[in-house]
């Protein structure tokens, strides 16, 4: 049940859900809102878990009269979820093999500032794939500058020179002195007039009207476009088996999970996929190390551990999904993972023998002081 269906269709769908005539309900975030009621909600499945907040994931669970079973799925678990699996508050099942029909994906970092010739080679490599009959994505972190009107982007100095370095006017900088992220509406014409001249290029971003977005995506899926220049709107739910190469510009502006999800748009057919992570981040910087790590593996769980190391686990007793904030002061998930697992095993044994902790009053008092009712609820929110 997407948000953009017609009013009459939406009313019919809501009635079927509320009356129990719909046994399975598929929907977007629209299912979280008031007015969506379930007759008897028994199972909640949340796909792409990292795209939902703690409270959002819990909103569906709260719509059930009795606590439903909850299954959350993701290729790249967020730090808080990794922490909960270690603490023992989530049971996990791992699908470690590629789905049938998928091909391996090779990923490489393209250091555009240090080695501009590598970027030139990236565009040639993309053209080679198109010449071979395949298609490509070019992903940018920004739509474009709309503060001064629709024409502002093309009237100002470009954010991006899509080839070797030049002596032309440098890219704009933001208030911090750092160049603004590259934008779809500015990059697309530069590519069309430069390294991708002659290719059929489409543009896709969230500011386009819904019918125009659908039209662009249909054209790309049908093979009427060679290259799709897009924002992260292509991160999930896009399946074009003929697309074999993705160039991510300003890759250091994206998170680990986003990069892993983005490159999953290629290699979805019989031909191998290629993901090129273009960056100006200096070698040895944390941003460059993060990209090197992403390029080194397609294992989402290893990337989740990297994400955990860099962003920390957040708070399993609160809504914070990453960061240093936590109610747990004496443990480090990274340092004490083995100790945590041992403590969990001991705790399970102790609670099985003494569920109310009547023989351990000091422990009961400590648990009560640390985990009040509100904090304990977060352990159920996943």
**Domain regions of the chain by residue span:** 41-95+322-378, 105-298
Contact assessment for residue 259 and residue 277, using Cβ atoms and an 8 Å cutoff = yes
Query: What average pLDDT is seen over the chain?
Result: 80
Does residue 340 carry a pLDDT above 70? yes
Structure tokens at 4: 């953009």
Confidence of residue 153 (pLDDT cuts 50, 70, 90): very low
The 10s digit of each residue's pLDDT in 32-57 is 888 899 999 999 888 877 677 667 76
pLDDT of amino acid 81: 60
Q: 14 pLDDT exceeds 60?
A: yes
pLDDT attached to residue 160: 36
- Rounded average pLDDT over 286-297: 92
Lowest mean pLDDT among 115-124, 157-166, 221-230, 233-242: 157-166
In 167-255, alpha helices (H): 184-193, 210-221
Given this model, what pLDDT does residue 170 score?
36
pLDDT-derived band of residue 85, with 50, 70 and 90 as boundaries? low
pTM confidence score: 0.69
Three-state secondary-structure class, residue 229: strand
Least confident of 224-238, 266-280, 365-379: 365-379
Distance of CA 327 to CAs 10, 314, 333, Å? 42, 9, 13
**3-state DSSP assignment of residue 109:** strand
Cβ atoms of 306 and 296 closer than 8 Å: no
Residue 316 has pLDDT above 50, yes or no: no
CATH for 105-298 (3.40.50.300, 3.30.70.260, 3.30.70.1140, 3.60.15.10) = 3.40.50.300
């Amino acid at each position: 049940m997407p948000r953009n269906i017609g009013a009459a269709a939406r009313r019919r769908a809501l009635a079927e859900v509320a009356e129990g005539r719909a046994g399975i309900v598929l929907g977007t975030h629209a299912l979280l809102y008031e007015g969506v009621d379930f007759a008897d909600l028994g199972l909640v499945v949340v796909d792409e878990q990292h795209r939902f907040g703690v409270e959002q994931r819990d909103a569906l669970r709260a719509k059930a009269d009795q606590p439903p079973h909850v299954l959350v799925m993701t290729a790249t678990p967020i730090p808080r979820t990794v922490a909960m699996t270690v603490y023992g508050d989530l049971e996990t099942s791992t699908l470690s093999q590629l789905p049938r029909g998928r091909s391996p994906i090779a990923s490489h970092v393209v250091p555009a500032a240090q080695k501009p010739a590598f970027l030139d080679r990236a565009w040639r490599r993309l053209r080679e794939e198109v010449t071979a009959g395949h298609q490509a994505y070019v992903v940018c972190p920004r739509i474009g500058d709309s503060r001064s009107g629709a024409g502002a982007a093309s009237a100002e100095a470009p954010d991006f020179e899509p080839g070797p370095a030049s002596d032309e006017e440098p890219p704009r900088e933001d208030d911090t002195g750092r160049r603004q992220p590259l934008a779809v509406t500015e990059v697309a014409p530069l590519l069309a007039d430069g390294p991708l001249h002659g290719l059929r290029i489409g543009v896709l971003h969230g500011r386009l009207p819904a019918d125009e977005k659908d039209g662009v995506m249909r054209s790309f899926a049908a093979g009427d476009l060679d290259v799709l220049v897009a924002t992260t709107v292509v991160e999930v739910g896009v399946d074009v088996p003929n697309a074999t190469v993705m160039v991510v510009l300003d890759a250091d502006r994206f998170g680990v999970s986003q990069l892993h999800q983005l490159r999953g748009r290629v290699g979805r057919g019989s031909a191998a996929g290629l993901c090129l992570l273009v960056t100006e981040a200096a070698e040895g910087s944390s941003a460059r190390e993060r990209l090197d790590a992403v390029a080194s593996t397609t294992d989402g769980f290893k990337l989740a551990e990297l994400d955990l190391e860099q962003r920390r686990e957040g708070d399993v007793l609160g809504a914070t999904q990453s960061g240093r904030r936590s109610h747990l002061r004496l443990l480090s998930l990274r340092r004490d993972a083995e100790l945590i697992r041992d403590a969990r095993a001991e705790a399970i044994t102790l609670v099985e023998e003494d569920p109310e902790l009547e023989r351990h009053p000091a422990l009961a008092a400590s648990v009560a002081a640390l985990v009040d009712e509100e904090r304990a609820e977060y352990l159920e929110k996943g």
